[in-house]
Structure 1
Amino acid sequence: MLRILLVFSLFISTLLFSQTKLNLIPYPQKVEFQNGEFIIPESFNLDKNLPKGETEFLKKHLSLNYKKTSEKDAHLTYSKVQNCLLENFEIYTIEISPKKIEIKSFTNSGYFLALQTLIQLFEQYKDAGKIPAMRIEDQPKFAWRGMHLDVCRHFFTVEEVKQYIDYLAMYKLNTFHWHLTDDQGWRIEIKKYPKLTQIGSKRKESMIGAYVDDTFDGKPYGPYFYTQEQIKEVVKYATERHITVVPEIEMPGHALAALSAYPELACTKGPFESATKWGVFDDVFCPKEETFTFLENVLDEVIKLFPSQYIHIGGDECPKTRWKECAHCQDLIKKNNLKDEHGLQSYFIHRIEKYVNSKGRKIIGWDEILEGGLAPNAAVMSWTGIKGGVEAAKTNHSAVMTPGSYCYFDHYQGDPQTEPNAFGGFTPLEKVYSYNPIPAELNAVQAKYILGVQANLWTEYILDFKQVQYMIFPRLFALSEVGWGSSKPENYKEFENRVVEHFKILDKMNVNYAKSIYNIGGKVIPSEKGVSYELSTSQNADGIKYTVDGSEPKSSSATYQNPIPVSKEMTVKSAYFENNILKSAISSQDFKTSKTTGKKINLEHLPSENYSFGGAFTLVDGIVGNVKQLGKTWLGFQGKDVVATIDFGQKMGFTEVYFNTLDNKGSWIHLAKSAIISVSDDGKNFKTIKEIGKDEILNSKGKVNLKVGSQNAKFIKIKIENAGIIPAGNPGADSKAWLFVDEIGAN
């Protein structure tokens, strides 16, 4: 009988462990639970042959007593696999048995990654005092798992950069993209050109306020830069954590800080100063011999400081205005039989690539380096969408996927009304987690050119390091698992549970992270009488309280059970309560309904990926966009018209039509050029009932409300014309303008 009980007890113990979900991020590729437990000892015996540097990292993060001993008596042993047939050098296994923990890997990098898993396991089970026996077989899917940090718009100290690198190491990211030069500041010491940091590392003031506000703080910023000794210190620190630092030196655009120090490198005489505004500027490097000499000398010093295979040369958002007006540039185009200024950009990038290749390195640049033809050995960082990565892979070029719609961590991650000011866009945790870096358009051979995935943190609106932490966490968790290749979007809630557990780790580290997943999420859905407002939370839904009269929700307010009908102008406020105590921010959503609200809508042109949250339905969801927050309530179209057809479902009478559009030329956002309203009874034959031009839209300041007479129709079509190519004298001249539209209503 006793034997049966022991067997049954062992069976139950094994069953419980097999059902245990480890709180690991990223989750391993394969976990097998086994019989028994490893009792966490007070004194942790380490095999004296363990790799020294990586093991010091383990000792720093686990508060245990340590003793070096022979392998026979060690609690932790390590074996280096000598004959690994796999190409993945980061592969590792962890075998946890009742007596010891054994790690195997092909390289020290694999061992280091195994230690990150082990540290997380100890964190999960330290209170229990024992870890279930298990075998973990693990390896990343992607070789490039990166995070970017912009230190030009706002600067961060060496110690803060080291903290940033620590976060990457903890969650198995292996590439740190350091954005070191831009219009607003030059942040790396170049000994041959001291004025780059003497002049270019400071600006007279900084733009502040919301995205569309042209207000300034009036405070000098800088000089801020890293000395070459500090650069070496950071690179060494990252290398010890098996992280590659990829430096970015922007060219040919985003060059104002450099031109402020050396104006002779421009197409015009200047004078120039480091930019005080955010955005894109016409003055760029002029492709003349002295410019190439300057850049080659700069790159010589950069290459000596950074051992990375790739050097990032920017290449993005380079206006061609100055080149069009420059006699030297036009002669260069003719002399080299180039098609146009885009061909001149390709010529520029080709020359830089040839030089970098001569030093044994490769270039990588933002997807605009595709303009005019991609340099022979260049890799593409695809940010404007996935198109650049697809084009690169199909022509046998490597690519890193970092589309703004999934991987820009300067976007809002929760309800913009409850979040700190951000650049724009809406990229919540769940969206990051849903990303698949391999575009569906690629076949198996082409997919091998996708090196991996990266998230970017631009810092226009990030004033200090606490805000850096807030913007990357918890989204870095999702990026980690996407890059590792173990993410399962269909099991997002399970991932979210692990995220909440990792908040405890961040709390101990005093990291300021976003708690947006605790706040109430709101989603507008179609209903029989218009729309309904669906509320959600990562917590118990019974804790959601709401009001519809604009008053603040209390513990005694209505408990949310079903989507809230919206059939009139109203304000829904909601919050999460636990034991009658408010546990979340109060979310507030205003609704302005019309006869188009909730109706079927079709768009002739799709919005940009970065500003497409909610799709076409966003234009008839009853929510008027906040002018200062380009988050989830606006659709953005670059170079495209908005052509929307709305089906009322039956003939409907109305006398006015309204929509909103934005004007912020500093960010390439222009008011619509014109608008045409048409009606139809069959959805095919339309009759124009109203046309307005640029002057009327300008006079309305973007809030367009049109009287259209007495109409009665089943369909309404509205064409809102994009401003087209941005004219000379404006930021982004010669590029496609952005058109932002929110709600299209009829009454």
Structure 2
Amino acid sequence: MIRILLILFLLSFSKFFSQNRLNLIPYPQKVEFLEGEFLIPEEFNLDENLPKEETEYLKKRLEGVVKFSYGKKDEGVHLVYSLYPPVLSHLPKNDEQQKERYSIYISPKRIVINSYTKQGYFLAIQTFIQLIEQYKEIGKIPALKIKDQPKFAWRGMHLDVCRHFFTVEEVKQYIDYLAMYKLNTFHWHLTDDQGWRIEIKKYPKLTQIGSRRKESMIGAYVDNTFDGKPYGPYFYTQEQIKEVVDYAKECHITVVPEIEMPGHALAALSAYPELACTKGPFEPATKWGVFDDVFCPKEETFTFLQNVLDEMIALFPSEYIHIGGDECPKTRWKECAHCQDLIKKNNLKDEHGLQSYFIQRIEKFVNKKGRKIIGWDEILEGGLAPNAAVMSWTGVNGGIEAAKSNHFAVMTPGSYCYFDHYQGDPATEPNAFGGFTPLDKVYSYNPIPSELTLEQSKYILGVQANLWTEYILDFKRVQYMIFPRLLALSEVGWGTADSKNYKEFEGRVIEQFKTLDKMNINYSRSIYNISGIVISKDNSIGYELSTSQNPSGIRYTLDGSEPTISSPTYQNPISISKSLTLKSAYFEQGKLKSAISSQDFITSKTTGKSIKLEEQPNENYSFGGAFTLVDGIIGNQRQLGKTWLGFQGKDVVATIDLEQKTQFSEVYFNTLENKGSWIHLAKSAQIFVSDDNQNFKMIKEIGKEEIQKAKGKIRLNVGNQTSKYIKVKIENAGIIPAGNPGADSKAWLFVDEIGVN
């Protein structure tokens, strides 16, 4: 009897949930449930007024799920379409979101879709498909009204095909994924140091030479190992480009092409070395990173780029052309007589002014062709071109600066929107570029910076995520890295994401996995795995475990052994009072359902203590904030995951309150070297002590040679000390010297656990 009552309760709860929350991503702006239900027929009778191309897409997506046929209105048509009044010509010309507005009215008799445009109808179709997928097994959809439109006009995904190449069919699949979740912009990264991927008929050597490289870097960057295998030639013919653009148009997606300039140009310079400041020879890069050889701003270079842009503009009808503009070292320009003469001739302040001169010349040409340029936020260097839009990736400041100067911006900060970052515990994830951007962090992003006024915020076009492919060798890995994070991006761009309701969103994501399974998409299941966060607890630390499933299924051990169903059940944050290895996993019905997560803790007299930083880490590498330096976790020097703090151009000055006078004789910390990613070991370090947090005395200092000898793993004997406060100052390497990737830019300093014994 009890079992029967439980089943009835679960059924009623399921019905209640379905009646009050739809399994839709992105969630609509407004949903109103009505009386009654629409019985899903075996065959939908379609209004003959339905837009044909979009309806054919609908039929293809639901092939094998339901059937469709065209009928007459007086024969009980199930799916009806009509245009909103007023007609499109009455809409404000600058209101793109209105063009994407739609409504769906589901009554017991029929489903009516309204929109201003075919684009709006196409978006309504995506909602309709998800409703059918949710309710097909039940056989009926609750009567309801949906009124919907996106918050942001630019909802984008980027794909780098230069580091690793993907076929036309794979690119089309990528576009399909964007369409499914109502994204409307595909940013196609077509040129870089490691490969030129688009046919330019006027310059055939770009693909003859620039589309191949002799080998590729493999493994972690610090390993500096290569596969020894020639890569390429890989590129898209102009006919293939047209095919992709036409396909995207059918999905109401704009393709924004990117050609990199003035930096990231090695593949082009390999084919046409006369466009560089030096004679070369050059070859497409085999390593990942940033390189000194860039386009030289001379007339033949501008002629070349204008000819290339002519052919690209003919292929891509998009309003914007992306011209890169990021990570352009000034080393060659500083040494180039022509560049220095150009600076003097045009009264430019310096090489940054020369970059602005370069971008402005390109912009004038693109504007004459009736198009606009967009570039990464480094195009702000030396002054922004008059009509340029900014893609803010190094953080949010580029977007803020652009909007405050009445320039449009697309927000794509690495800390939230770089899908080449880890999305789960790096120990259980495939090799990634670095960083830590899990699903909940993507979902928490608000593209409108709080620093902007309401009027300034109108210049934020929208949001985009980027997929760089240094460590993504095939399309299955592409799928893995974008799913399910693309679903969070979708809802952020639509404007209905609310981080307070993350768990509810996570439940909808898990329901969407059924669709991804049917489509044979290789998505990440990291949200099923156990995630851990170190918290301050009882004058020490605690380890808080969580999972998307029932937390009572979490089992853990503290002796390094593998957890089993008989291991302790997780209930509250686990106190960590000594060095140990904690392993955890999720079990369901007695069976292991997740990867086994493992975390080593190395405790010291600073573990869990109060810590303050004079300068805050860069937002891309700030997970856990200052507390990360006293959380008992030693970072992996081969992975830039969540255990490191990154500072660009800043020193680390950390003051730790030991709470009482404490004896110690050793201080340790770790820094990192990865010059290809602009990460350099510290220049020096000093240790200070104090009893009042006001007057500090230096007790130890080391220089660059000692730090290099220790390879960043610093262990300092400071003699017998007794103090209440300890201050550690770790000096950034400063400006990267010539001959290194990123020369003339601010070096990164990565710092890990600061311990005292």
Q: TM-score range by the shorter chain?
A: over 0.9
Correspondence for 1:660 among 660, 670, 678: 670
1:448 equivalenced with 2:483 (yes/no): no
Correspondence for 1:504 among 503, 506, 514: 514
Aligned residue for 2:133, secondary structure, equals helix
List per-residue Cα deviations over 1:354-403 (Å, max 9, x = no partner). 00000000000000000000000000000000000000000000000000
Contact 2:221 2:676 in 1 (8 A): no
Aligned to 1:45: 45
Whole-angstrom distance in 1 between the partners of 2:15 and 2:559 = 51
Aligned to 1:704: 714
Whole-angstrom distance in 2 between the partners of 1:746 and 1:66 = 71
Contact 2:19 2:142 in 1 (8 A): no
Aligned to 2:736: 726
> What amino acid is the match of 2:320?
Y
> What amino acid is the match of 1:708?
V
Correspondence for 1:741 among 722, 736, 751: 751
Aligned to 1:30: 30
Aligned residue for 2:491, secondary structure, equals helix
Contact 1:17 1:132 in 2 (8 A): no
- Which residues of 2 match residues 644-655 of structure 1 at below 5 A? 644-655=654-665
Aligned to 2:477: 467
Whole-angstrom distance in 2 between the partners of 1:43 and 1:121 = 16
Aligned to 1:185: 195
1:55 equivalenced with 2:55 (yes/no): yes
C-alpha spacing 1:34/1:340, structure 2 compared with 1 (3 Å): same
Whole-angstrom distance in 2 between the partners of 1:744 and 1:13 = 50
Aligned residue for 1:740, secondary structure, equals strand
Correspondence for 2:306 among 286, 296, 299: 296
Aligned residue for 2:99, secondary structure, equals coil
Whole-angstrom distance in 1 between the partners of 2:283 and 2:667 = 45
> What amino acid is the match of 1:663?
E
Aligned to 1:227: 237
CA-CA distance at 1:211 after TM superposition: 3.2
Out of 662-671 and 380-389, give the one that drifted further.
662-671
Identical counterparts, % of pairs = 80
Aligned to 1:592: 602
Whole-angstrom distance in 2 between the partners of 1:684 and 1:284 = 49
- Which residues of 2 match residues 141-180 of structure 1 at below 5 A? 141-180=151-190
CA-CA distance at 1:661 after TM superposition: 0.5
Whole-angstrom distance in 2 between the partners of 1:616 and 1:71 = 66
CA-CA distance at 1:82 after TM superposition: 3.9
Contact 1:92 1:103 in 2 (8 A): yes
> What amino acid is the match of 1:162?
K
CA-CA distance at 1:20 after TM superposition: 2.6
> What amino acid is the match of 1:121?
L
Aligned to 1:426: 436
Aligned length: 736
Whole-angstrom distance in 1 between the partners of 2:85 and 2:176 = 29
- Which residues of 2 match residues 95-494 of structure 1 at below 5 A? 95-494=105-504
> What amino acid is the match of 1:612?
S
Whole-angstrom distance in 2 between the partners of 1:17 and 1:667 = 48
Correspondence for 1:93 among 94, 99, 103: 103
C-alpha spacing 1:467/1:18, structure 2 compared with 1 (3 Å): closer
1:75 equivalenced with 2:85 (yes/no): no
Whole-angstrom distance in 2 between the partners of 1:678 and 1:486 = 49
Out of 59-68 and 336-345, give the one that drifted further.
59-68
CA-CA distance at 1:18 after TM superposition: 8.0
Contact 1:672 1:697 in 2 (8 A): yes
Whole-angstrom distance in 1 between the partners of 2:223 and 2:613 = 30
Correspondence for 1:66 among 59, 63, 68: 68
Whole-angstrom distance in 2 between the partners of 1:273 and 1:369 = 26
Aligned to 2:5: none
Whole-angstrom distance in 1 between the partners of 2:324 and 2:450 = 26
Correspondence for 1:621 among 592, 615, 631: 631
Whole-angstrom distance in 1 between the partners of 2:602 and 2:189 = 42
Whole-angstrom distance in 2 between the partners of 1:209 and 1:381 = 29
Whole-angstrom distance in 1 between the partners of 2:334 and 2:594 = 54
Contact 1:211 1:424 in 2 (8 A): no
List per-residue Cα deviations over 1:43-74 (Å, max 9, x = no partner). 21101111010000110112322221123331
Whole-angstrom distance in 1 between the partners of 2:473 and 2:42 = 43
Aligned residue for 1:425, secondary structure, equals strand
> What amino acid is the match of 2:28?
P
Aligned-residue Cα RMSD (Å) equals 1.2
Aligned to 1:716: 726
TM-score after normalising by structure 2: 0.96
List per-residue Cα deviations over 1:281-323 (Å, max 9, x = no partner). 0000000000000000000000000000000000000000000
Aligned residue for 2:365, secondary structure, equals helix
1:20 equivalenced with 2:20 (yes/no): yes
Whole-angstrom distance in 1 between the partners of 2:565 and 2:18 = 40
Whole-angstrom distance in 1 between the partners of 2:432 and 2:13 = 49
Whole-angstrom distance in 2 between the partners of 1:172 and 1:192 = 37
> What amino acid is the match of 2:78?
H
List per-residue Cα deviations over 1:189-235 (Å, max 9, x = no partner). 00000000000000000000113220000000000000000000000
Aligned residue for 2:221, secondary structure, equals coil
Aligned residue for 2:222, secondary structure, equals coil
> What amino acid is the match of 2:464?
Q
Whole-angstrom distance in 2 between the partners of 1:165 and 1:392 = 29
> What amino acid is the match of 1:648?
L
CA-CA distance at 1:529 after TM superposition: 3.9
> What amino acid is the match of 1:723?
A
CA-CA distance at 1:15 after TM superposition: 9.5
Whole-angstrom distance in 1 between the partners of 2:14 and 2:227 = 62
Whole-angstrom distance in 1 between the partners of 2:558 and 2:371 = 61
Aligned residue for 1:558, secondary structure, equals coil
List per-residue Cα deviations over 1:219-261 (Å, max 9, x = no partner). 0000000000000000000000000000000000000000000
Whole-angstrom distance in 2 between the partners of 1:140 and 1:713 = 57
> What amino acid is the match of 1:232?
K
Aligned to 2:538: 528
List per-residue Cα deviations over 1:689-719 (Å, max 9, x = no partner). 0010000101111100000011111100000
CA-CA distance at 1:17 after TM superposition: 7.5
Correspondence for 1:569 among 557, 563, 579: 579
> What amino acid is the match of 2:685?
A
Aligned residue for 2:223, secondary structure, equals coil
Contact 1:211 1:629 in 2 (8 A): no
List per-residue Cα deviations over 1:658-677 (Å, max 9, x = no partner). 00001111111100000010
Aligned to 1:677: 687
Contact 2:621 2:644 in 1 (8 A): yes
Aligned residue for 1:497, secondary structure, equals helix
Structure 1 gaps of 5+ residues are 1-11
C-alpha spacing 1:562/1:18, structure 2 compared with 1 (3 Å): closer
CA-CA distance at 1:458 after TM superposition: 0.2
> What amino acid is the match of 2:81?
Y
Whole-angstrom distance in 1 between the partners of 2:20 and 2:456 = 38
